[in-house]
Chains A and B, each alone.
Chain A
Amino acid sequence: MTAFLYLVVIILFAVSVWQMSKILSMSKAGEDSSTSQIANDKDNKINGKLMLGFVIFIYVLAFISFYKWSDVLLPDSASEHGVDIDQLWLISMIIIFIVGIITQWLLHYFAFKYSGKKGQRATFYADNDRLEFIWTVIPVIVLAGLIIYGLFTWSDIMNVDTEDDPIVIELYAYQFDWRARYAGDDNILGDANVRLIEGVNQLGLDASDPDAQDDIVVNELHLPVGRKILFKMRSQDVLHSAYMPHFRAQMNCVPGMVTQFSFTPTKTTEEMRLDDEIIAKVEHINSIRSEKNVARAIAGDEPLELYEFDYLLLCNKICGNTHYNMQMKIVVETEDEFNEWLSTQDNFATTMKN
């Protein structure tokens, strides 16, 4: 696989070197005159052909990229709203590709077709209101469609309907880890402020607030499948961003304010592990890891563990030196499993007592 890629790169490079040497040798003639550094018919011809070659290169590059790397892309959305996002994404992508393929072709094909020759006369064609009108109106119509579709999707995602009775969970970010706080039986998060951080009270909960007593602070995020979750984000120090790519969810965590994002997970971790795309991805990653392990064994290093799929919460806003490893595991499970897990966790009142 990788060898193939290297090969492609080397071949492309060789082709360009070959073409260059050709250009160099072909344009040696007539070096003395003052016009020697101005493109002549020969240069126009060669570069015109290269332009045609170049647009084909772009197409081939796009094709190879899709062929080779489609399997690294994110799997189908594991949240309800994510399906809409993926749909809009697909439509936008199709439009982009159609427009891109056509315009790139015209651009480079014209550069090839009309490359200069002595005696060739360019057409004096300064403007045409009808053409200008057409290619103003077509983008207007297409974009209007995309804008309207996008805005509906956006407001559906961002306007949280509290009548759905969402489970309230706080995501708490600090350099360089995450904590999650469940609101407990009352489903109300107790007051908190960084000024109250002390000892085991890592998140600065207000011990005098009755709503805070049943709050549960954990370092692994569990979510029940099919229930709407309302995340409240907080940060202790600098900007962070709670990024859950599999759920098409992201929101910055801003010190001094509480931000929010809401979604409904639709696939448990177990279901996701049985998803074809995920199985292929995990196999791929594990084959890479086993390859590395061979090398590690020779060097006497400990082998890497084999990978098993888990949802991730990643930090996606530069937050300091260990930004690249600020992540938390997310477990999506059935409501029963979730409730059982939650009941085994200590609540705030218990933690403070101990």
Chain B
Amino acid sequence: MSAQGYAHPVTHDEHEHHHKETFITKYIFSTDHKMISKQYLITGLFMGIIGIAMSLIFRLQLAWPDKQFTIYEVLLGKWGEDGIMDPSVYLALVTIHGTIMVFFVLTAGLSGTFSNLLIPLQIGARDMASGFLNMVSYWLFFLSSIIMVMSLFVEAGPASAGWTVYPPLSALPQAIPGSGAGMTLWLVSMTIFIASSLLGSLNYIVTVLNLRTKGMSMTRLPLTIWAFFVTAIIGVISFPVLLSAGLMMVMDRSFGTSFFLSDIYIAGEVLHNQGGSPVLFEHLFWFLGHPEVYIVLLPALGITSEVIATNARKPIFGYRAMVASILAIAFLSTIVWGHHMFISGMNPFLGSVFTFTTLLIAIPSAVKAFNYITTLWKGNLQLNPAMLFSIGLVSTFITGGLTGIILGDSALDINVHDTYFVVAHFHLVMGISALYGLFAGVYHWFPKMFEGRMMNKNLGYVHFWITAIGAYGVFFPMHFIGMAGLPRRYYTNSAFPYFDDLADVNVVISIFAFITGAAQLVFLYNFIHSMFYGKKGPKNPWNSNTLEWTAEVKHIHGNWDGPIPEVHRWAYDYSKLNKDESDYVIPGQDFVPQHIPLQDNEEEMNH
């Protein structure tokens, strides 16, 4: 294993002589986990800009369906002639918005960034188990991003069968123009993406299992690492299933097989396909698709655990319960996929089983929420932007999670399935929550990524408060149009009169969406500006216990200039008092970093 070489202490001299890096090896084909994490983040943010911009364009259409906007013509070309949006490009926009946000921003951009940055730094390793595979993983991700963006420029339009790409719609170009070359590129891009994700995940698992520093037992791991570790395991279990579904789809589309197609009469002719089932595709898709929700969410919850404990100056409440709930969520996430298919035509008995498993998942989720709240109780909360985003995450996680109790109940799902109620639910519980996790991570670990530079806190506050108000402003009213029975993926609600009275709700939602979108520009400015001109802060700006803050501020290959620190305690000894309760364990300092040995006047605890 290549990383074994790093296990020996590398002296400073060796360092200077052995690593003559060129621009290409340092910034492009880098095998250093810190650089790769920055590459992931910046690619993810770039994709995020595209994804969010798309949502703003279709929000414009939904709020004012009968008005003309020249911006359509500018941005959408032939699909926006005379300022009128074409229905096919509306479907393309929602499809690609979903794909980009779920996979490219919240899977790669969130988990890719922070797993890469934090796993070696927080477990005390010089790098990932395989730096080379790590590099390959990023470049495959980059390639898949390029292909996905390219698919936007295909003559007949990009994939437009919804991000779930259910066949036959996605398999037949006769059914919708986007299912031609656009869909082919979608499949190619996703295949490469899955390869990237698998390489990354295997690397994370191996690194966490094998490269922990001395003293870093599994029960001393920060919750971030637990979350990334379990996320990687879910990814390895479920992504291959999507890959096989994708391959079968390629076969059906190009080689005349009938995995998912049967008895179809379209465009005046009968297709030869017989015996396949679209429901099979739904099963395979959601076998990934549902764990995917947790692949997105668990890293965000891990980041939040760390940020909340640090900024509350308190240990995270119920560390073992938190680990147990991560494991329980991970296990349950693989046996609940059928709740996306209650009314797909599958056996109603299965619906009962999936209702049962789905509602079970509310239990570990509730435990997590209660533990976060208790961690805040009697703390000394340092309300840094990262902390605000973490509290915001708990808030949206609760709100979105609660409506999950309705949607997970098969009987109630009948009438709100595929309506805007679902859209509101999952945007709050996985979209907004995971984005908040991403932002919390960026604000918190920015100094670690950019050699001590810090983001501007005031711009951070502006960013948070507008986003927090805007996100609720968008998604809370959206539940109502869902309860009014409005189906999702409708290009306009005004084709027939029944939904006319929802027009003003849609206007409100869109206005909040534009305000929220504008607030992200504040973040972008802050991010780019701070990268170059950010003020340098102290080595350990948030007075945190975890090992990454003991590593060199300046990025060096191998992270620690001297030997890797040895770990003597868990990561959450914040505000711990000495035996006679006269002062903190280290007098005058309310935290005890993990590499500090047990002090004389300190009681040992088994957490």
- Taking a contact as CB atoms closer than 8 A, the residue among B279, B414, B462, B490 that contacts A157 in the complex is B414
The yes or no answer to B3 lying at the interface (CB within 8 A) is: no
Known: A92-B409, A122-B590. A154 touches B370 (CB 8 A): no
Chain B residues, CB < 8 A from A12:
469, 473
| Bound-complex Cα distance A153 to B255 (A) | 44
User: Which residue of A has the minimal Cβ distance to B446?
Assistant: A37
Q: Does B46 contact A (CB under 8 A)?
A: no
What are the interface flags for A54-86 relative to B under an 8 Å C-beta threshold, 1 for contact and 0 otherwise?
Answer: 100110011001000101111000000010110
Q: How far is the CA of A305 from the CA of B398 in the complex (A)?
A: 44
In the complex, what residue of chain B is closest to A66 when comparing beta carbons? B480
Contacts known (A72-B480, A72-B505, A252-B344); A325 close to B496, Cβ less than 8 A? yes
Alpha-carbon distance between A2 and B490 when the two chains are bound, in angstroms: 22
Pick from B372, B395, B489: contact of A108, CB under 8 Å: B395
Looking at the assembled complex, report how far the CB atom of B312 sits from the nearest CB atom of chain A, in whole angstroms: 6
Query: Could you tell me the distance in whole angstroms from the C-beta of B221 to the nearest C-beta in chain A?
Result: 16
Q: Is the CB of B381 within 8 A of A44?
A: yes
Q: Mark B333-376, 1 if CB is under 8 A from A, else 0.
A: 00000000001110010011001100110110011011111101
A286 to chain B, nearest CB (A): 9
Contact check, A9 vs B512: say whether CB atoms are below 8 A apart. Answer: yes
Question: Complex formed: what's the CA distance from A230 to B573 in Å?
Answer: 64
A175 within 8 A of B: yes
Contact B497 A289 (CB under 8 A): yes
**Is the Cβ of A23 less than 8 Å from the Cβ of B175?**
no
Q: Give Cα A157 to B391, complex, Å.
A: 41
The verdict on B527 contacting chain A, using a C-beta distance below 8 Å, is no
Cα of A255 to Cα of B246 in the assembled complex, Å:
20
| B542: interface (CB < 8 Å) | yes
Interface size on B, as a range, is: 35 or more
* Residue B458 is within 8 A (CB to CB) of chain A in the complex: yes
Minimum C-beta distance from A91 to chain B (A): 10
- Contact code string A113-142 (vs B, CB < 8 Å = 1, else 0): 011110011111111100110011001100
Which B residues are in CB contact (< 8 Å) with A347? none
Within the assembled complex, what's the spacing in Å between the Cα atoms of A117 and B383? 11
Q: Give which listed residue, A48, A54, A82, A197, contacts B383 with CB less than 8 A.
A: A48
A residues in contact with B29, CB < 8 Å = none
- Distance, CA A50 to CA B387, complexed state (A): 13
- Complex Cα distance A58/B162, Å? 31
A255 to B168, Cβ gap below 8 A?
yes
- Taking a contact as CB atoms under 8 Å apart, the answer to whether B501 and A252 are in contact is no
Among listed A206-214, A237-245, A334-342, interface-contacting one: A237-245
Indicate whether B412 reaches chain A with its CB closer than 8 angstroms.
Answer: yes
Nearest chain B CB to A294 CB, angstrom units = 14
Q: Which of A143-151, A181-189, A220-228 contacts B (4 or more CB under 8 A)?
A: A143-151
- Contact B472 A61, beta carbon cutoff 8 Å: yes
Q: Is B265 touching A204 in the complex (CB atoms < 8 A)? A: yes
**Interface of chain A, main secondary structure:** helix
Asked, given contacts A96-B403, A107-B391, A317-B418, whether A43 binds B261 with beta carbons under 8 Å apart, the answer is no
Question: Judging by beta carbons under 8 Å apart, are B476 and A325 in contact?
Answer: no
Whole-angstrom distance between the Cβ of B185 and the nearest chain A Cβ: 19
Q: Which residue of A lies closest to B277 (CB)?
A: A256
Write the nearest CB–CB distance from A200 to chain B, whole angstroms. 15
Please tell me if the beta carbons of B265 and A236 are within 8 angstroms of each other in the complex.
Answer: yes
Q: Does A167 sit at the interface, judged by CB under 8 A?
A: no
B266 on interface, CB distance cutoff 8 Å = yes
B473–A110 contact, CB under 8 A?
Answer: no
A window 12-71: CB within 8 A of B: 12-13, 16, 19-20, 23-24, 27, 34-39, 43-44, 47-48, 50-51, 54, 57-58, 61-62, 65, 69, 71
Does the CB pair B379–A255 fall under 8 Å? no
Are A39 and B384 closer than 8 Å at their CB atoms? yes
CB-based contact B279/A257 at 8 Å = yes
Provide the residues of chain A in CB contact with B410, threshold 8 Å. Answer: 150-151, 154
Q: Does A155 interact with chain B (Cβ within 8 Å)?
A: yes
Chain A residues, Cβ within 8 Å of B68: none
Q: Are B405 and A92 in contact, CB atoms less than 8 angstroms apart?
A: yes
- Give the complex CA separation of A204 and B371 in angstroms: 60
- Residue A312 CB within 8 A of the other chain: yes
A285 contacts B409, C-beta separation under 8 Å: no
Contacts of B303 in A (CB 8 A): none
B19, CB-defined interface residue at 8 Å = no
A240 to chain B, nearest CB (A): 10
Asked if B500 contacts A285 (CB within 8 A), the reply is yes
| Residues on A with beta carbons closer than 8 Å to the beta carbon of B479 | 65
A151 to B413, CA, bound (A): 12
Residues of A within 8 A of B502 (CB): 72
- From residue B554, how far is it (CB to closest CB) to chain A in Å? 16
Which residues of A line the B interface, CB within 8 A?
1-2, 5-6, 9, 12-13, 16, 19-20, 23-24, 27, 34-39, 43-44, 47-48, 50-51, 54, 57-58, 61-62, 65, 69, 71-74, 82, 84-85, 88-89, 92-93, 95-96, 99-100, 103-104, 106-108, 110-111, 114-117, 120-128, 131-132, 135-136, 139-140, 143, 146-147, 150-151, 153-155, 157-159, 174-175, 193-195, 197, 204, 233, 236-239, 241, 243, 245-246, 248-252, 254-257, 259, 261, 281, 284-285, 288-289, 304-305, 307, 312, 314-325, 327
Closest 5 CB pairs of A and B: A256-B262, A245-B485, A158-B348, A259-B345, A194-B265
Identify 16 residue pairs between A and B in the complex whose beta-carbon atoms are under 8 Å apart, listed by A's number: A37-B454, A37-B455, A38-B384, A58-B476, A61-B477, A84-B411, A108-B395, A110-B377, A111-B381, A121-B575, A126-B315, A136-B366, A239-B168, A241-B418, A288-B501, A289-B500
Q: A34-B536, A62-B476 are in contact. List 10 more A-B contacts (CB 8 A).
A: A23-B461, A65-B477, A72-B480, A88-B409, A116-B313, A116-B383, A122-B313, A252-B344, A288-B500, A324-B493
